[in-house]
Amino acid sequence: QIQLQESGGGLAHAGNTLTLSCTASVSGVPFSSYNVAWFRQAPGRDREFVAFINLSPDEIKYDYADSVKGRFTMSRDDIEKTAYLTMNILKPDDTATYYCAAGLPRRTIPPTDERSYEYWGPGTRVTVSS
């Protein structure tokens, strides 16, 4: 069981930086066993994948949506049970509610697919002005 809480959203000007945090309360399976991802949903649009990270003994796996590659960086601290999303060079198109998601790895569903995640935070709103 895992509960997620996002923070760090707010209002930013285009070109600036915001860092979102996702803090987990975990019982049972360790936080380090979970894939963690960020999704976002803009007004009037479907929720979309933003970034994913998984730390394994063999390799660190990342993936980013094309729209944020080179601007956004995801990281996680499994000791603190927290994931981060640093958003640089913000654009008005980044305006959305950002959701943190966690799920145990699934072989048949890619980590970019929201169906891969059982647990979701309530979201944090990001507004980017031009």
How far is CA 99 from each of CA 36, 57, 115, rounded to the nearest angstrom? 11, 26, 14
Count Cα neighbours of 115 within 13 Å in the Cβ-side half-sphere: 5
d(CA 73, CA 58): 21
Supply the pLDDT for residue 46.
Answer: 96
Supply the pLDDT for residue 57.
Answer: 59
pLDDT digit string, tens, across residues 46-81: 999 999 988 765 667 888 999 999 999 999 998 999
Supply the pLDDT for residue 9.
Answer: 97
Supply the pLDDT for residue 123.
Answer: 98
**Tokens linked to 61:** 């796996």
Is residue 73 within a helix (H) or strand (E), and if so which, with residue range?
Answer: strand 72-77
**Which residues of the chain are modeled with pLDDT < 70?**
56-59
Share of the chain above pLDDT 70, in %: 96
Supply the pLDDT for residue 107.
Answer: 83
